[in-house]
Structure 1
Amino acid sequence: MRTIIGEKMKKTLLLAMLFAGLGSAPAFAAPYCSSSVGLGMAGDFKEPALGNVYGVDSGFAINGAVGYDFSGLRAEAAVGYQENDFTNEDNLHTSLLTVMANGYYDLKTSVGIKPYVMAGLGIATIKADDSPGVAWLDDTYFAWQLGAGVGYKVSGNVTIDVGYRYVKPEGLECPNHLTDVTWESHNILAGIRYKF
C-alpha cells in the first residue's frame, strides 16, 4: 500500500512541477500566483460495510497556487488545507492537505467578469481523530477535484476570484476498523490572482 501511494505521490509531484516550471512557455503565457480562503463543507465519513456514519461540521479552507495563464487556458500547481471538527465531538478533528495539478478554462466575455471551469488531479493527506491524540485515519490517497467560478479583473494584473470546488479522495481505508471509508468535501472560496 505504501509503495503504491509513494508512486502516486511521485507522479503527481512531477506533474505539479511541470505545470509550475514551464520555463519554455510561449511568449503569450503569463505566470501568476493566487491565494484564496473560504468555507470547507466536509461530508460525513461513512463506513458502508459497517453502516457507520460520522458527522462533520463545516470548517475553513485555504488554497495557494502558482501557474501560467495561456489567454483562456490556465495550468497550475496548488496546495490546499482544510480543517473540520466532528459533530458533537469538540476534541475530535479532521484535516485535509492536498497537492494538485489543476487545469482551467476561462470563458471569453466582452466584460471584465470571466466564468471558468476547472479540474485537478493529485494527492490528499487525510487525518481524522478516533479519540484525542489517536488517529482513526492518517494516510495519503489519490484525489481529484472539479469546480467552477467567476473572476473579475480589477486591474491589468489583479483578478478577484470566487468559486466552488468538489474534492474527492479515493481508496480511503480505516486500519482500526478494517473497512473502506468514503468521504468528500464541498468548498466555497474567495481569493485574489496576480498575473506577472
Structure 2
Amino acid sequence: MKSRLLTTVAVIGAVSSLCNFAKAADIIEEPYFPPPAPVIVEEVATGGWYLRGDVGYVFESETDGYYNGWNIDPGVQFVDDVFHYDSITTKGAASFGAGVGYRFTDHLRLDATLDYFKSDVEGSSNCNTQVQQSYNILANAGCQYDDTSKVAIWTALANAYVDLGTYGGITPYVGAGLGFAHVKYDDMRNEIVCGSHPNCPATNYVGFHAGESSWRFASSLSAGASVDITHNLKFDAGYRYTRIASGDAFGYDELDRNAGATGVQGSDNGFNIHAVRAGLRYEFGGSGGGFGKGKGKAVEPIYASTPLYEEPAPLYEEPVYK
C-alpha cells in the first residue's frame, strides 16, 4: 500500500514538471532593436558672390572704315566726297580684366567684368581723287596712305554663364554678355606714298591726325572651363569673342584744319575681338561641382543631438505569453 502511494506521488510530480516545461516552451521574448540616431545631411551653399581676375591675349584683327575728303582749294573748302578706308589692322596684344559676380544655382551665374588692352594700329588705303589730281597721276599709279597709331580699348560687360555640369573637378561653360566699350586712338601718323610715277614728289607728305575717343555698344560670346583648385578657388580658362560697334577714329591734319576743316574726319566700322583668357575665380559660397566631386552638390554631414550610443536593453523583461 505504501509503495503504491509513493508511485502515485512520483507520477503526479513528473506530470507537473512536464506541464511547467510545456508552459515555459511557449514563452517568446521579443528582440530589442535600438533606434538608429538620426543624421542630418546639410548641403554646402552653392550660391553667393565671387571675384575674378584674368589675363589674356587678343589676336590680330582687321576692320575697315571711311573718311571725309576735305577740299582745300580756295572758295570750295568743304567735304566734297566720302572715301572708303580699305584696311585698319589691330595687332596682337595682352589683355587684363577683373570682375565681380554672383552664383544663383549650380548652373547659372552672372558677373560684371572690366577688360583692357592697347594695340598697335596700321591702316592703308588708296589715295583719294584730290591727291591724285594734285600730283597729276592716274588712279592706278600706286599712290596710297600708310597710317600708324595705337588704340586703347576698355570693355565693360554684364555677362551670364551656364555651367554645364562638373566632371572630375572640371566644369565647362558657355556665356554671353552685353555692355559698352570705350575706344581711344592715339594721334595717327599719315604718310602719302606716291609710288614710282615721274610726277610723284621726291619727299612723301606726312601729316598727323588727332586721335578720337568714343563710347560704343559691345556684345560678347564666350566658352571655356573651370578647374577646381579648392572648393572655393577655381582656375578659369576660355575663349571670348567681342563685337564692338563703329565709331570715331581720327580728326583732320594741320593742312586741312588750316583750310577750315573741323570735327571728325575718319571712322572705323567697329572691331571683332578674338581673345583667349585665363585667370582665377574665388567663390565665397562654393561652387556646385565641389572639389573632386565630379557631380551634383558637395555635402557635409552634420549629426543631430541624439547620441549614436544607446543604453543596452535590460537583461530581463517581463515575458510575453502567446
Residue equivalent to 1:33: 51
Deviations 1:95-133 (A, max 9, x none): 111111110001113321111101000010001234269
2:97 alignment partner, one of 63, 68, 88: 63
Deviation at 1:178, TM superposition (A): 5.3
Cα distance, 1:179 vs structure 2: 4.9
Give the unaligned 5+ runs of structure 1: 1-26
Match of 2:172 in 1: 115
In the superposition, the TM-score normalised over structure 1's length comes to 0.77
Equivalent pairs, count: 170
Letter in 2 for 1:41: F
CA distance in structure 1 between the aligned counterparts of 2:282 and 2:98, rounded to whole angstroms: 12
Aligned counterparts of 1:58 and 1:75: Cα–Cα separation in 2: 28
Q: Cα 1:180–1:36, aligned 2, differ >3 Å: closer, same or farther? A: closer
Q: What per-residue deviation string (whole Å, max 9, x for no partner) do you get for residues 44-89 of structure 1? A: 2311660421222100111101011122111111111111112499
Q: Percent identity?
A: 31
> Would you identify which runs of 4 or more consecutive aligned residues in structure 1 move more than 6 Å?
88-91
Distance 2:245 2:147 in 1: 27
Q: Is the Cα–Cα contact under 8 Å of residues 173 and 181 in structure 1 kept in the other structure?
A: no
Greater share of strand: 1
- Distance in 1, matches of 2:86 and 2:267, equals 11
d(CA) in 1 for partners of 2:147 and 2:244?
A: 24
Unaligned runs of 5+ in 2: 1-44, 67-82, 124-145, 190-207, 250-262, 285-322
Change (3 A) 1:90 1:150: farther
* Aligned counterparts of 2:178 and 2:226: Cα–Cα separation in 1: 22
Distance in 1 (CA, whole Å) between partners of 2:63 and 2:97 is: 22
Cα RMSD between the aligned structures? 2.5
Residues 117-126 or 28-37, more deviating: 28-37
- Match of residue 74 from structure 1: 109
The partner residue of 1:183 within 271, 276, 282 is 271
The 8 Å contact of residues 65 and 266 in structure 2, kept in 1 or not, is answered as: no
| Counterpart secondary structure, 2:90 | coil
**Which protein has the larger Cα radius of gyration, Structure 1 or Structure 2?**
2
Match of 1:52 among 67, 72, 86: 86
Summarize the Cα distance change of 1:161–1:179 in structure 2 as closer, same or farther, 3 Å threshold: closer
